[in-house]
Amino acid sequence: MGLNDAEYERICELMKREPTDTELGMFAVMWSEHCGYKYSRPVLQLFKKYREAMEAGGFENAGVIPLNEQFGIAMKVESHNHPSAVEPHQGAATGVGGIIRDIFTMGARPIAILNSLRFGPPTDPRNRYLFEHVVEGISHYGNCIGVPTVAGEIYFHPRYSGNPLVNAMAVGIAPLNQLMLARADEPGSAVIYVGSGTGRDGIHGATFASEALGEDSEEKRPNVQIGDPFMEKLLIEATLEAIQTGAVLGLQDMGAAGLTCTTCEPTAKSGTGVDIEVNQVPTREPGMSAYEIMLSESQERMLLYVKAGEEHQVEAVYKKWGLNAVTIGRVIAENVVRVRQNGEIVAEIPATYLTNECPTYYLDTEEPDYIRAAREFKMDAIPDLDDANQALLKMLSSPNIASKRWVYDQYDWLVQTQTVLPPGEGDAAVLKIRGTEKGIALKIDGNGRYCYFDPVTGGQIAVAEAARNVACTGAMPRAVTDCLNFGNPTKPHVFYQFKGCVEGIAQASEAFDTPVISGNVSFYNESELGEVFPTPTIGMLGILEQVENRVGAGFPESQLTVVLIQPAAFAVNTQQGLGASEYLAVVHQVENGQPAPFLLAEERNLHHFLVKAAEQRLLRSAHDLSDGGLAVALAESAIIYGVGADIVLTEQAADWTERRDAILFGEFQTRVLLSVETGHLDKIKTLVSEYGLQAIPLGTTGGDSLTVRLQGRTVMDLPLSECRKAYQSLSDAMSK
């Protein structure tokens, strides 16, 4: 069950008796890290919205940010790592289903799905199997349910071989005056179970997610839920219609901890309780015990709290859609979750015991030796570039940089017809919001290697890059949802990583005015191969006031000026942007050093510049410099529409180092590559100076090759056909 001896003794102390089997199971899932955040809670207090939510009784199912006076955007990201490791198709599919339910539980219609995926090298048969079937599960569920999968990221590294990461994000839109909360405020109101029947799948899924994978992981397939996207589509429509009746007072998705969670969390917030009869719960299998029913995590289920006397109105809506809708109990004034089977009380626990009394642990931290070594890492032993052409081709064919077309071609990103900047064409997806002139930009991003070698800076960069991606489309970054993936938190070096990353995320989100409005913590991501890289993934929402001002990443035509935007005083550390870089790992097989430091204020200024330039229609394309630095960004911008470029790196762009590899492949923050009409160049320079940045013209677009000259000599000259072949290598290999 995942409880230790002290926790069991605390339960007995609270209850003043030994718990029943059902009660013990309920405590076990609610006091797991997955539900109770007993290890992460003290650190998450660094997030302002988290502190406010805890003071108000707890987070809601998803965070909401206003779009305008009428509508709000709901968003949330969660992990389904362990289930996907043992059953990749269903693990990934139910991850999508669960996060979508968090959205429409708020009264929001789901309009977009994103995902962040991490696997071991795809050349390994097991990793390839997981990769293929996770993508298959995501595409199956999303395509069937009719919600577009519009953006994502995929990263490969041996550290994920034993434990892949599957993070699913969903976004929805809701009228602000009809938002639903997970509350049970009115004694006497009906507790109505809706959706699919309850089975034995997923029992103890929350505790399964709160322990490391081991040799017995394959035996834990019963902990993985089975999804039915067609049932979920019906549940979306029925729930949104039921909300319109005005009879629904509160509701919650039956995700982790199932019926236990949906009875204790809303009542704990409201200071009420419930009295339910589990024999009224629709089940898929005969003879299920109260323990199994209370802990099952079967999919496509919700619990509604409905005004007394209006139950039949709500039940009629669900039955019209062919779904179960059964009153299983009532809200009571006493703050107790009372569970009966055949009328006999099998569990009776104060709701706050399951939520507020979950123990809190203040774990030790210890900076690992490898971080101290990374600080002192010198580039002296790394030879400079001999052949920039071959280095670029090698970088473009790296699985972490190469095109993911094989993946997103399996996703229906056109359904609902709101996606106006699709996968592969921009730094973030852009959706037009019907009934308005506004658009939203969506991105999910992270870099585990950065966070491994420098947790605080890595956390900052995760937020900065996601925000920069959104700003490159012309959208102002507005809010963050995060999924924090780490190893066993009781290991001091792992908790050091976690604490540092959260500090960095909190600092950056506050600096950019992009609050963390929802999220998820996933610990115990390790196996016999060791723990994964510390991997916080950041889901970023941006808002465009005029969606027609959106900007893509590709050079759209010839005879445009290519411009590099970067800080006015370009900071360079001793590792020259190559510490912890993709270039160092791919070309030299060296993983060491630390990501280059940067200033959050300058990064924020860059976002504001990009939004203002897009509003003034000064940009033809915008693409951020991240993995692979300038050379990779140039190649990617050229490949998208097949428009080459002739680049000359002047002293202003290249006088800070004598290393060609640092100039071409160094990874510095707060840098963006633009293409602009030549007549707008002066306006760009004037505008960028207002934000304390500099604009450096690099050359012109055109032709069918990428040419780069440095210090009077050509250092790179490649046909786009060769660049494209390298860039498509991963997708080509996966298609065979």
* Per-residue 3-state assignment (H helix, E strand, C coil) for 524-540: CCEECCEECCCEEEEEE
Say yes or no to pLDDT of 381 above 80: yes
**Between β-strands 526-527 and 530-531, what pairing exists: parallel, antiparallel or unpaired?**
antiparallel
Name the percent of the chain lying above pLDDT 90.
Answer: 90
Query: Counting beta carbons within 10 angstroms of the beta carbon of residue 372, is it exposed (0 to 12), middle (13 to 18) or buried (19 or more)?
Result: exposed
- Whole-number CA gyration radius for the chain: 26
CA separation for the pair 94, 103 (Å, rounded):
14
Say yes or no to pLDDT of 220 above 70: no
| pLDDT confidence tier of residue 456, bands split at 50, 70 and 90 | very high
Q: What is the pLDDT of residue 211?
A: 56
| Residue among 590, 484, 542 nearest 116 (CA) | 484
Tell me: the pLDDT tens digits for 547-589? 999 999 999 999 999 999 999 987 777 899 999 999 999 999 9
Q: What is the pLDDT of residue 208?
A: 52
Amino acid 724 reads R
Three-state SS annotation for 27-88: HHHHCCHHHHCCCCHHHHCCCHHHHHHHHCCCCCCCEEEECCCCEEEEEEEEECHHHHHHCH
User: Which one is the CATH code of 551-736: 3.20.20.10, 3.90.650.10, 3.40.50.150, 3.30.70.60?
Assistant: 3.90.650.10
CA separation for the pair 92, 115 (Å, rounded):
10
Say yes or no to pLDDT of 610 above 80: yes
Give the torsion sign (CA, 508, 395, 551, 436): negative
Tell me: the pLDDT tens digits for 543-556? 999 999 999 999 99
CA separation for the pair 232, 228 (Å, rounded):
6
Tell me: the pLDDT tens digits for 657-667? 889 999 999 99
User: Mean pLDDT over residues 447-466, rounded?
Assistant: 98
Amino acid 659 reads R
CA separation for the pair 649, 117 (Å, rounded):
35
| pLDDT confidence tier of residue 227, bands split at 50, 70 and 90 | confident
Residue 570 has which token pair?
Answer: 């370009």
Query: Counting beta carbons within 10 angstroms of the beta carbon of residue 135, is it exposed (0 to 12), middle (13 to 18) or buried (19 or more)?
Result: buried
CA separation for the pair 429, 439 (Å, rounded):
10
Residues forming the active site:
34, 80
Q: What is the pLDDT of residue 282?
A: 97
- Looking at per-residue pLDDT, the higher value among 349 and 381 belongs to 349
Q: Residue 708 forms beta bridges with which residues?
A: 647, 716
Tell me: the pLDDT tens digits for 172-214? 999 999 999 999 999 999 999 999 999 987 676 555 544 566 5
Count of beta carbons in the 10 Å neighbourhood of residue 341 = 20
What does DSSP assign to residue 403? -
Contacts of 550 (CB under 8 A, 6+ apart): 420, 421, 426, 430, 439, 441, 473, 474, 475, 544, 614
| Residue among 291, 275, 221, 213 nearest 27 (CA) | 291
| Residue among 558, 556, 711 nearest 648 (CA) | 711
- Looking at per-residue pLDDT, the higher value among 133 and 50 belongs to 133
- Looking at per-residue pLDDT, the higher value among 647 and 568 belongs to 647
Q: What is the pLDDT of residue 204?
A: 63
User: Mean pLDDT over residues 133-153, rounded?
Assistant: 97
Tell me: the pLDDT tens digits for 614-639? 999 999 999 999 999 999 999 999 99
Q: What is the pLDDT of residue 53?
A: 80
Query: Counting beta carbons within 10 angstroms of the beta carbon of residue 326, is it exposed (0 to 12), middle (13 to 18) or buried (19 or more)?
Result: middle
CA separation for the pair 476, 514 (Å, rounded):
10
Residue 326 has which token pair?
Answer: 């059964």
CB 624 within 8 A of CB 465: yes
CA separation for the pair 248, 189 (Å, rounded):
10
User: Can you name the CATH fold of 1-31+180-360?
Assistant: Phosphoribosyl-aminoimidazole Synthetase; Chain A, domain 2 (3.90.650)
Tell me: the pLDDT tens digits for 268-326? 999 999 999 999 999 999 999 999 999 999 989 999 999 999 999 999 999 999 999 99
- Looking at per-residue pLDDT, the higher value among 209 and 724 belongs to 724
User: Mean pLDDT over residues 106-117, rounded?
Assistant: 98
Say yes or no to pLDDT of 221 above 50: no
Q: What is the pLDDT of residue 203?
A: 79
| Residue among 618, 390, 430 nearest 541 (CA) | 430
Count of beta carbons in the 10 Å neighbourhood of residue 652 = 15
Contacts of 481 (CB under 8 A, 6+ apart): 62, 63, 75, 76, 77, 169, 516, 517, 518, 519, 538, 539, 541
| Residue among 604, 626, 619, 607 nearest 551 (CA) | 619
CB 59 within 8 A of CB 53: yes
Q: What is the pLDDT of residue 213?
A: 63
Amino acid 411 reads Y
CB 621 within 8 A of CB 664: no
Q: What is the pLDDT of residue 205?
A: 53
Buried b or exposed e, range 56-79, using 16+ CB within 10 angstroms = ebebbbbbbbebeeebbbbbbbbb
Residue 313 has which token pair?
Answer: 């109105």
Contacts of 39 (CB under 8 A, 6+ apart): 33, 361, 363, 489, 490, 495, 523
CA separation for the pair 353, 335 (Å, rounded):
10
The DSSP-derived string for 484-542 is EE-S-TTSHHHHHHHHHHHHHHHHHHHHTT--EEEEEEE---EETTEEPPPEEEEEEEE
CA separation for the pair 396, 392 (Å, rounded):
6
CB 421 within 8 A of CB 550: yes
CA separation for the pair 12, 17 (Å, rounded):
5
Name the segment(s) of the chain with CATH classification 3.90.650.10.
Answer: 1-31+180-360, 551-736
